[in-house]
Amino acid sequence: MLSTTKRLLSLTTAILIASSAVATAAPSEELIAAAKKEGQLTTIALPHDWCGYGDVIASFKAKYPEITVNELNPDAGSADEVEAIKANKDNKGPQAPDVVDVGLAFGPQMKKEGLLQPYKVSTWDEIPDNVKDSEGYWYGDYYGVMSFLVNKDLVSNPPKDWSDLTKAEYANQVALAGDPRASNQAILAILAAGLASGAKSGKDAGEAGLKLFADINKAGNLVPTIGKSGTLAQGATPIVVMWDYNALSAKKTLADNPPVEVVVPEKGVLAGVYVQGISAYAPHPNAAKLWMEHLYSDEGQIGWLKGYCHPIRFNALVKAGKVPQDLIDALPPAASYEKAYFPTLEEVDANKAAVTAGWDSVVGANVK
């Protein structure tokens, strides 16, 4: 039987065609000096319990204490990040984001709208070509799979698959982790549900996912509240559909109060890639570039892995023996990932269009 590490390496080959040696490049002294002179970095939509971002931000601050990190709206969705850049084009104050972390479909959209500026980090060659813009406007950072976070005090029989969510036993218990009209996490949850039904293309899967969630809503099971670890613990949203890394982080934080289970569904195991980008109007462009260098360094990538995410340079780091086995063991069983489907950018775009346009008319739940 293959070891956990080898199975994960086999799994990730689909999108992580890494180079044979880990990159050793580092940011230039000129960039570091220019970033320190700017003295500030403004981020947006980076909750500290998402993908280990709390420690990643702390390590950046420790490395560059001369740079103040201004964190905007940690609970914002990808669409909110786009709007924040648009709204602050002429604003060099603290409300203007320097950098964004958005769903895969939003990267090309932002490039097309002229909202991003290009920059290639020192470890650029180890980012797979199919999850980065060839000109450097956006680039994949990490990925996970869609899962169910379940409050075991209130749900004695956790759902095993997407179709289970329509069952009467889950009345007033099912929630999404974002508004599916704006949140990438929620938009891709609909795609995963559609794939589980047997639909193939992004548009068809999106429409099939909307139908399933319409059925969940008609059954009285969908709670129109954005689900978080807090709402789950309080009993308001006993089942929350979210990325596995968010669910695993919540499980650790809750520490059995209440006891929770993280379920990777049997079908419709969707892998989702997020991407980084620098605002075309960034007030602190050099600090933004230095932030990217930090995120794509060994330290930054391992920081995300500590937050239960698969960093985009995962394969190269494993090959170089730089990933502690305990971090790999903390992830769900490799078998859960072996079924993971990585949608193409075209499928992600088609699903996003179908979901954002059809949620109100097909499902009709005002998630907020």
At 148, which amino acid appears?
F
Q: Which residue has the tokens 């909750």?
A: 47
Helix (H, G, I), strand (E, B) or coil at 240: strand
0.85 surpassed by pTM: no
Tell me which residue of 43, 33, 48, 29 sits closest to 229, measured CA to CA.
48
Tokens found for residue 290: 């230095």
Paired strand residues for 310: 143
Q: What are the chain's domains?
A: 4-143+272-333 (3.40.190.10), 144-268+341-363 (3.40.190.10)
Instruction: Report the C-alpha gap between 280 and 97 in whole angstroms.
Output: 10
Reading the chain (368 residues) residue by residue, the pLDDT tens digits are 334 333 344 344 444 433 334 445 689 999 999 999 999 999 999 999 999 999 999 999 999 999 999 999 999 999 999 999 999 999 999 999 999 999 998 999 999 999 999 999 999 999 988 899 999 999 999 999 999 999 999 999 999 999 999 999 999 999 999 999 999 999 999 999 999 999 988 899 999 999 999 999 999 999 999 999 999 999 999 999 999 999 999 999 999 999 999 999 999 999 899 999 999 999 999 999 999 999 999 999 999 999 999 899 987 888 888 988 899 888 877 777 778 888 988 999 999 999 999 999 999 999 99
| CA distances from residue 154 to 146, 149, 158, 178 in whole angstroms, order as listed | 21, 12, 10, 22
- Please provide the DSSP assignment of 77-134 as one string: -HHHHHHHHHHTTT--STTS-SEEEEETTHHHHHHHTT-EE----TTGGGS-GGGB-T
